[in-house]
Structures are given as structure tokens and as C-alpha cells.
Amino acid sequence: MRKTAFLILFASLLVSSCNSTSETRIVVNNPLDMVRNDAIILLTRGAISQWTEIPSGLWPALKDDSGSYIPSQVDDVDGDGMWDELFALTDMAPSGHQILSLAFVSPEEYPSFENRTNLRLGSHEKGYPELLEAKRLEGVSFHNYAGRTGAIYQMEGPAWENDKVGFRNYLDQRNGMDIFGKITPKMVLDSVGVEGRSSYHAPAEWGMDVLKVGTSLGSGGIGYTYNDSIYRVGDNGSGTYSVVFEGPLHSRFNLSYSDWNVEGMSLEVIHQIEIVAGRHYFQGLVTYTGSEAQLDLVPGIVNMKSDTLYILKLNENYTGLMTHDYQSEDTTLLAMALIVPTGYLKSYGKTRDTGEGITQTYYAVLEAVPGKPTPYRFYALWEKEDPRWASLKEVSEFLKIEAERWTQSTMLEIIP
């Protein structure tokens, strides 16, 4: 299995000297005065090599003070076949700390943990074999997609989930995003959208497809602005899907677009998407190249069943753009939100409701620079997954907490 990881981590690493002993102890601090479930710990190979000698052929893992392994995975970031990062999750008390021990384990004996994230792109061939990479369907748009993409790919394209929520992308020139509302923490999408099972548009024991996307950007789909117009990424040219890693705690893939023509410019776009266990969002990181012209990223939220966009100043660093209405396909309450870095946010708005191109979408305009990734997070909060999401106040308070978690990552210290 190919593995990789990404996280913007603000870590305080206090290293006194290179340690070649068999055990390295790490203090993990929670800087927030609140409970932090599934707090992220990210250790790079470079940092670990400063503390201790890395045994050839072994993988790092973390143990708590009882000697038990905490959930973790190792990730190959650059695809060279060698691990680059250790990714782990732990629960932390308000302003609390934990002392963990770094251990090295053979790949064959590496501890297994419950699968809490999952990627799925199934071919519509017999048995629905899983694809780690695929080309999207070209020449398939809103005008002619009926029956075509679904005949090639299970669920019409790649899907991704964790123990809270699921999403999918149409792997054709529609390039919209959709939401699977879940009422189970189990990984279910491997068997959704296969013949012999009920339609995922109808309620099932696991949940359902809760969103109608139409010609909008859906749940965090993307465009770019240029010369005061918004262009859907990938509405021409070619595109691919490729798995970067799939792990029990953290999974990532890329949607890549080539020869995307915008007013005579031929652009390349990489939309990196990752999902982490215990979260109600996916994180997007989008990069364009091919021109020095100024284009700005536009992630969106479908608004065909909502007439209010709430703008929330979550903290000094992040802004939320949110809808909250009876916009699930089963007529229950669904909140959708973009959380974006305030320093990137230039404006926000609403597309027209009819016509060609992107319609029925609230959107944010985020400053983008050629070759530099632009980040955002898209949240889906369905009242059937958690009754708290029926309350606008509860959702707003939750997003404020999420902004604090994004602002202040766990802090690490090495015990000499």
C-alpha cells in the first residue's frame, strides 16, 4: 500500500542532542483549554533522525505509558517506497499532556488499528475491482452524462469517507462534489452503488446520498476566477484520479487536470483531497500552474435549497461560510460550511440560479498564486448523524472550536 501524509503542523520540538538509545520519549501537549479527541501527532523522518538512530527496514510507532500502542500509520510522502512521516491520533484533556515512547517495528508486525478512513473508486466491471488510478471521462458534461459515467465507475467516481461522513466526486467534466450522510461509523462505501443493493439516493441502514448538486459546485467543488468570471475547473481538457495513500486514520488522493483552457491559457491544476478519522470535513489543497496570470480559487456550496449564507468570524485566523436548512434530500436539516484562512479570503458571493456554467452556488474567493497551494476545508453536518446539527447555534459553536483546533496543533517536546 502506498502511503503519504499531509498536515500543516505547528510544533515546538526541543531537541538537546542526537539520541541513539533504544527509547525516545515524547511529551505531547494540548495548548487548548478544551477536550481534544483524535488530536493529531505528526513526526517527520527528519525530526525522528535527530533524536535517535532509525533502524533499517523498521517503521516507527508510539506507545503510551502503559506500553500499549496508540493508533498510528506510517506514510510515504514522496512515493519513493520509504516512509517519510509517522501520523498518530490520541485523545487529550483540556490543557493536558501525554508522555509517549517511540518504538520501531517490522512492517509485518506493525500493529493494526480500526479502519476509520476509506477511499473507493470501483470499476463497473464484474466484482467492482478497486482502482488506484484512473482517467476521468472526457466529453461527458451536464448535457449528456445520464447513464454514462455510472456505467464505467461505481458511484460515478471516487468516494471517500471516515467514521462521520462521506463524499464523492463525479469523474467527468461536471466535476461536482456530493455528500453521503452516514448514521454508522463503519466504512460502507466499498459496497454502495453496486447492483443488487438499494439506490444510495434512498435511506438505508448506513445513511444515504443527502445532496442534490445539479450544475452547482456542490459540496466544496472548485472553480477559479479570471477577468471577473468564474470557471469550473476541468470543464475541458483532461483529468486523472490517483491514490496517494489510504490508511486507517488518514487518507489522501489527487484529482489532476491537464490542458484546462481558460481564455486561451492552458493550465494544470492539482486538487489534493484528504480525510482524517473523527472529522466532519475533507481538506482541499489546490495548486495551479501554466500561467503567471492572477487567478483566484473559488470553492463552493450548493444553495438550491437554502436562501441564507452565514458569514462567521470563527477566530483571528479563520472565517466560516455556512448554510443551515432543510437541504438534505430526505428533507432533514443539513449544515454545509467552508472554513477558509481569513488571510486568503478576498470576497464571497452567489452565482446566478440559471444559465450556462456554474449555477446555484454560494462561493468564497481565495487569493491564489501560481505554484502555491491554497487550502480550505469543507464540512457536512447532518442532523441524522448527530442531533446537535439541527441547531444553528450548535453548528456555529462547533465550527468555532474547529477553527481553534486548526489554529493550534498539538505541541511536542522531546525528553532528553
CATH of the domain at 84: 2.60.40.1180
Residue 92 and residue 37 in one domain: yes
Q: Which of 41, 5, 26, 94 is nearest to 404 (CA)?
A: 94
Q: Which residue in the block uniquely carries the three cell numbers 438505508?
A: 204
Both 213 and 303 in a single domain? yes
Range of the domain at 217: 117-385
pLDDT at 78: 87
How far apart are the C-alpha atoms of 131 and 242, rounded to whole Å? 9
Task: Examine residue 390 and state whether it is found in any structural domain, yes or no.
Answer: no
User: Which residue(s) pair with 375 in the sheet?
Assistant: 285
Looking at the fold, whether 289 and 350 belong to one and the same domain comes out as: yes
Q: What pLDDT score was predicted for residue 414?
A: 86
User: Is the domain of 38 the same as that of 171?
Assistant: no
Q: Is residue 322 part of a domain?
A: yes
- Cα(first)–Cα(last) distance of the chain, in Å? 35
Q: Are residues 192 and 318 in the same domain?
A: yes
| Position 403 in a domain | no
Give residue 42's identity as a one-letter amino acid code.
L
| In a domain? residue 391 | no
Please list, in sequence order, all residues whose beta carbon lies within 8 angstroms of the beta carbon of residue 325, skipping any fewer than 6 positions away: 305, 306, 307, 308, 333, 334
Q: What is the pLDDT of residue 18?
A: 39
Shared domain for 139 and 87, answered yes or no, is no
Q: What DSSP letter does each residue of 227-245 carry, written as one string?
A: TTEEEETTSSSEEEEEEEE
Where residue 217 sits, what CATH number does that domain have? 2.70.98
204/85 same-domain check: no
Tell whether 211 is covered by a domain.
Answer: yes
Q: Is residue 18 part of a domain?
A: no
Element (H, E) at 81: none
In a domain, 72, yes or no: yes
Same-domain status, 77 and 125 = no
Per-residue pLDDT of the chain (416 residues), as tens digits, is 333 333 333 333 333 333 334 579 999 999 999 999 999 999 999 999 999 999 999 999 999 999 999 999 999 988 899 999 999 999 999 999 999 999 999 999 999 999 999 999 999 999 999 999 999 999 999 999 999 999 999 999 999 999 999 999 999 999 999 999 999 999 999 999 999 889 999 999 999 999 999 999 999 999 999 999 999 999 999 999 999 999 999 999 999 999 999 999 999 999 999 999 999 999 999 999 999 999 999 999 999 999 999 999 999 999 999 999 999 999 999 999 999 999 999 999 999 999 999 999 999 999 999 999 999 999 999 999 999 999 999 999 999 999 999 999 999 998 87
* Co-location of 240 and 341 in the same domain: yes
- Number of independent structural domains in the chain: 2
Q: Would you state the pLDDT for residue 3?
A: 37
Round to whole Å and give the CA distance between 306 and 327: 7
The answer to whether residue 359 sits within a structural domain is: yes
Regarding whether 140 and 74 lie in a shared domain, the answer is: no
Residue 38 CA, chain-centre distance (Å), reads 15
Which grid coordinates are listed for 377?
476545508
Examine the domain organization and report whether 330 and 301 are in the same domain: yes
Same domain, 82 and 96: yes
